[in-house]
Amino acid sequence: MLPFRDGLAPLRLLLPHGDSATTIVEYLEREMPDDDWRRAIRDAEVVDEKSRPISVDTRYRAGSQVYFYRVPAQEVPVPFEIGILHEDDDLLVVDKPHFLATIPRGRHVTETATVRLRRQFDCPDLTPAHRLDRATAGVLLFTKTKHARRPYQELFSSRNATKEYEAVAGFDAALDFPRVVRSRILKEHGVMTAYEEPGEPNSETLIELIELIELVDTVGTSARYRLFPKTGKTHQLRIHLSSLGIPIANDPYYPVFSSVPADDFTRPLQLLARALNFTDPLTGEPRRFVSARTLEL
């Protein structure tokens, strides 16, 4: 297969059955006419599943795979740096800023933590062991080697890593803290927001009140909270606080969705992955990483 280039893996295309093309280049030029396929083929940048370069005469074979590069669309640069908290032979732990997605997906490809860091550290095997929403800042762990990838990813899939978050949100004197919120959260593919519905809970968050705060130009009292999610459903913390009637400050999704321009970096969601604790699966040592960022409105 083709190697990574500029922090990005090559794309994979499965050639469909029932197509009338006689050669692979005929199919590619018809389906993706804006790409210079003959130049890419000449430069050996289009290969099959066995890493063999194709030629302009390579026959179309339904069910076979083709790997190639594509130039990503121009993106709005995220004007914030990624902080480095720790690096060793297997791990890279960073302090992700708000507005930067974790992995390439949809309209965010080059402006993601994964691609930026692969380029910065010249490490194509760099892979996130877990994810943070684009809107959420804080501690994010990457593996640098293939042998470390599975043990660290299983820390999160098996819920053996303790995640500690901090949020600035509304305040309701009628609510008692600490409290545990459990609910059933669902998200439909292609829909930006998730939602709660009656039924067996699949999400759980412990919420602690840290302090009351007075925010400028805000009606009523706000507060700073510490949150410990036991599960990791999409937008879980945002939904749980919103469901209590105390949504996180600057949340454009909950309780009411509003679209934010891609170049608007003025109102970061007041949610921070403050700390990450776990027993290292390779060394058995206790690990704790803490974000140096602060939530400032």
Beta partners for residue 163, in sequence order? 276
Tokens 């970096």 found at:
265
**Residue closest to 283 by CA, chosen among 179, 155, 121, 133:** 155
Q: Residue 165 contacts by C-beta under 8 Å, 6 or more apart in sequence?
A: 138, 226, 227, 228, 229, 237, 271, 272, 273, 274
Give the rounded distance of the alpha carbon of 256 from its chain centre.
Answer: 22
Phi-psi map region of 250: left, alpha, beta (phi>0 left; psi -120 to 50 alpha): left
In the set 133, 172, 251, 263, the catalytic residue is 133
Q: How far apart are CA 272 and CA 80, in angstroms?
A: 15
**H helix or E strand, kind and range, residue 286:** strand 286-290
Q: How far apart are CA 246 and CA 270, in angstroms?
A: 12
Angle at 12 between CA 6 and CA 15, to 5 degrees: 150
**Residue closest to 3 by CA, chosen among 143, 147, 153, 123:** 123
Query: Residue 251 catalytic?
Result: no
Q: Any idea which residues carry the catalytic annotation?
A: 133
